[in-house]
Amino acid sequence: MSKNLLIVESPAKAKTIGKYLGPDFEVVASVGHIIDLPRKRLGVDIDNNFRPEYEPIEGKQKVINELKRAAKGKDVVFLGPDPDREGEAIAWHIADSLGLDKYNFKRVLFHELTPQAIKEAINDPVTLSQNRFDSQQTRRILDRLVGYLISPILWDKLKRGLSAGRVQSVALKILVERERAIQIFVPVEYWSVTGYFESHGLPFEAPLHSQGDKKIELKTGHEADEVVKAVTGEEFTVGEVLAKDRKRSPYPPFTTSTLQQAAYHQLRLDPTKTMKLAQQLYEGVELPTGTVGLITYMRTDSVRINPQAGSEAQNYVKSKFGPEYAPDTLNFYKNKKGAQDAHEAVRPTSVGRTPESLKGKMNPQLWDLYDLIWRRFVASQMSSAVYKQTTANLEAKGYLFRATGSVIVFNGFLAVYAADKEDDKKVLPALSPGQKLIPQKIVPKQHFTQPPARFNEATLVKELEERGIGRPSTYASIISVLREKEYVEGKKGQLKPTEMGMMVNDLLVNCFPKIMDVAFTADLEEDLDEIEEGNTAHIEVLNKLYSALAASLSTAKENMPNVKITGIPVQIPCPTCHLDDRMVIRYGRNGFYLSCGHCGQTTDFSRDDKGVPQPVAPVSLNEEVFCEKCGKPMVVKKGRFGTFLACAGYPDCRNTKRLTTDENGEHKVNIVEAPPLPEGLDPICPQCGKELLVKQTKRGGWFIACSGYPKCTFALSMPTGVKCPKKDCPGSIEEKNSKKGPFFSCNEYPKCRVILRGLPIKEKCPDCGNDYLVESSQAATKGQKLCPNPSCPTNEYLEEGKTPPAWYEARSYTKTTTAKSRPAKKAPTKTTRSKKTAAPAADQA
């Protein structure tokens, strides 16, 4: 039996470490957190110094019991979760769950998963850090207070399920502020003039720089034309030519945020995917030589490196490229202000494991990310690149044109890592003072100033880091939540706030200005660092946030506008009564809409380039339609499944019809008439005695349901009247509905698994006498009646040289399998549906 127990977070990490520790150690995984605040209540006793009320996470009691069994009889229990605040909290919760007084607990920190690093960590354990645990616990309580006290207000005022977050909402505010800056931006016209020259057979260009000693700015086309007229055909004289060497220093090794940014720009990996891949590289990758951790711990904001690793990189550079490519001493980089510096930069655990040696031995995306990390680290220990930068002035008629260019004299670190367009330099030909040149052409060009760019995931990560919002380990989850809550949408890689995101931000900024303040949020991050370092009491930080939060809570409950009822006023005229101060934006179950407080008119809206709401023209009918039940006119309405036709007598008459857009008109619609009830079917519901109706699902299929829905959930599949084509099967074909749309199958399922991909029609084939035809659903033959019989005489086209008929693809419409091909399931009842499965009957609108 093993003498010691090592508990880590993930099974992959346990597998990697277990191979190196031998029989004296049993290595198990907690699979992340095992204890947390409760999901369905606040779980923080505010009046008792914010005491957290922890409980096992749902489904984790089994893990806790397994850890207790594994710990019995062990001499030492080593706690090896990740070496950060979250890992420290997991270690504390494991120790508390097993019993702090029962076992000899020791904390081990694995910064990289190599045999040497693992053994060193085991031989040099530390005690559990109370300060680091307090920092994590404070962060968790801060997030819980903001999320659980503010979110219910949003549910009441706007929509259930929305969320507010201490960092998430501030990140949303940054995105909204950028969007508003884009909306109010007014482009300004300006012009440039560029001369195109040639010297010694090498073309180059020189933009207009100045007139005399004054830098020139051209605001109109007329001004640009004046310059062009003045210098066209004139001889230019080369004036001062300056050439100097310029060094470009290598990049520092990756931190978490710079890794996310580089992976996004160079590999098109979003931050969430990047962190998942980096986690795999850290915990261990299965290689032909065994499982090995390929990189150091990936959650860090430090650029510090182990001198031994730096020396290994320089030795590799000298042997691979030559001694001139490595500096005389190691390159060390300065951390940004506020960096925790608890862990090294992200680097390979061994420079000797080159990307080339691992090519084809791991997942391609894993390899790409490892290659990026490896090259960045090796380049960080290389010599600077040297450019010869040349600037030449060309003068004519008092105008000075300036040409610039560079040539790489020594590529240095660029031999391994070139990250951006700056590494591609323009080259100038040799120019000498006094040289005369005639321009090939002088070209004016109109420009307009551009609005600030929307953030993408990489630039948002950079912005959050620069402002001190959140921590590198949280950036991926922040962006993920913003997407999940539909606060932002991704268009061409950009993060654009949605209507919901803008509304949530405005409500929170107005009612919780302190909580939404960027500087206040950044100060809290610094406070968490101070708690970890033992310089600040965690109670002070909790009081700091709660005092700011409590001051706004009661006011927000009273004063936050109810978007569902009163709405948000907008200064646009009502399209019906034309009053310009009565329209409000409201939120209903189908989304945001405009409503007039005077005449009650409602309409959908869109926003123009300046963000101003614009009413959308209502959908109209091709012709006037009247309800066949009560005679009142039918009107177009919008539901969660799109537009539909409803009786104007609602709620007395609830008759509805499905609609489909007319291809000939932008807002025209055609009525889709429901098929009649099948012949022989009793039109009275056997459960409640009300009328049976043919209804349509949101994906276009038909079914039979009781008109008393939702009180009565009786429903039937729509029969086709076609007998099942399978021999010896007594069943018939019915219309079924799935997520992909309607299909047709035998009602003897699962005994019979015949499926038809087109609508079966009870007509005999004129060629072979087959009992039915199939209405094609494929694009090329859609709507045609085709014979599904593969032995139909029409199949003579199979002879070489003959052209197949249009319905050839119909041969693949019939799919027959035996009941033995998969385990038979209990046949579902056809007579009733429970309320939980009665969704199709609710699709009438």
Catalytic residues: 297
CA distance 262 to 204: 32
CA distance 296 to 255: 11
Q: Which of 343, 335, 333, 348 is nearest to 378 (CA)?
A: 348
Count of residues for the chain? Answer: 845
DSSP string, 34-54: SEE--SSS--EEGGGTTEE--
Q: Could you tell me if residue 424 is left (phi over 0), alpha (psi between -120 and 50 degrees) or otherwise beta?
A: beta
Cis status of the peptide bond prior to 187, with omega within 30 of 0: no
Phi, psi of 587 (to 5 degrees): -120, 130
Phi, psi of 779 (to 5 degrees): -60, -40
- Alpha-helical segments (H) within 560-658: none
- Helix, strand or coil, per DSSP, at residue 688: coil
What angle is formed at CA 626 by the lines to CA 621 and CA 632, rounded to 5 degrees?
Answer: 120
Count CB neighbours of 293 within 10 A. 27
Residue pair 754/720 in contact (Cβ under 8 Å)? The answer is no
CA distance 252 to 271: 20
Residue pair 344/111 in contact (Cβ under 8 Å)? The answer is yes
- Alpha-helical segments (H) within 217-363: 221-231, 256-267, 271-283, 307-321, 355-358
CA distance 305 to 378: 12
CA distances from 751 to 399, 734, 788, 823 (A): 90, 15, 22, 10
Q: Could you tell me if residue 667 is left (phi over 0), alpha (psi between -120 and 50 degrees) or otherwise beta?
A: alpha
DSSP 112: S
CA distance 228 to 195: 9
Q: Which of 810, 727, 821 is nearest to 775 (CA)?
A: 810
Burial of 729 (0-12, 13-18, 19+ CB in 10 A): middle
Spacing of C-alpha 624 from chain mean position: 45
Cα end-to-end span (Å), the chain? 66
CA distance 439 to 370: 49
Residue pair 32/8 in contact (Cβ under 8 Å)? The answer is no
Spacing of C-alpha 720 from chain mean position: 44
Residue pair 199/429 in contact (Cβ under 8 Å)? The answer is yes
CA distance 232 to 399: 12
Angle at which helix 475-484 crosses helix 168-184, to 10 degrees, equals 70
203: enclosing H helix or E strand: strand 202-211
